[in-house]
Amino acid sequence: MPPRATDARRAAVLGSPIAHSLSPVLHRAAYEALGLGGWSYDRFEIDEAALPGFLDGLGPEWAGLSLTMPLKRAVIPLVDEISDTAAAVDAVNTVVLTEDGRRLGDNTDIPGMVAALREHGIEEVDSAAILGAGATASSALAALSRICTGEVVAYVRSEARAAEMRQWGERLEVDVRTADWADAEQALRAPLVIATTPAGTTDALAAAVPERPATLFDVLYDPWPTELAARWSMFGGAVVGGLDLLVHQAVLQVERMTGRSPAPLEAMRHAGEKALAGR
């Protein structure tokens, strides 16, 4: 049964560092739009060592948690059940806390990526390229396992990272080929390019954007636009941004934690845009 608007419930985002997180802005906007006046959403600076004690100290008023780095894998042994989506990439970004005290681990990043692409008209591609090989890259591979019918080329900086991406490809049943980061300009000609690297990493690639680029999914949202995204847009290519991902994954979190569906996507997006504009 969905919670009543007057029920006092709590949720929060955990991670380290956490001060930059937009999650409180998005979730609070959702609660307001849904009329959940008794709900609150906070942020806590929590690292791997502090996570078990924090979880054990939660009372029955807690409905759920959002997790960012470095907790997405550290939390797995601490939950009672993990969804197939989260298990596929060994990463939990959502914990739903049930009335009977169970902790259910899930991953909304992957379906959030798929939903963000779908919103921009990307339902299926015959090939794709990934820039980077970190945790977000594995989530990108998992998302591509749902929409890409052909080869995915991952551009990475080391053979160790290349081996990891190939292993993820085998696990997720995606045809993955790896290439050296020095050749990353070639990625920009793919039907879909997913940039998963930290701020500034792809700036040098902006000058190599082709005259008719297809679709770029850049997972960053602050600063925005990145140099690559700005150049991509200037040449008429479609751009999906990090805020798109953040909002779509947060929509799924709100629905799982509150039992209310659909979550107010546009209200959450507007709140996120307003917060970023104020930074």
The catalytic residue positions are 72
Rg (CA), the chain: 19
The torsion angles phi and psi of 180, rounded to 5 degrees, stand at -75, 145
Rounded distance, CA 66 to CA 14, Å? 6
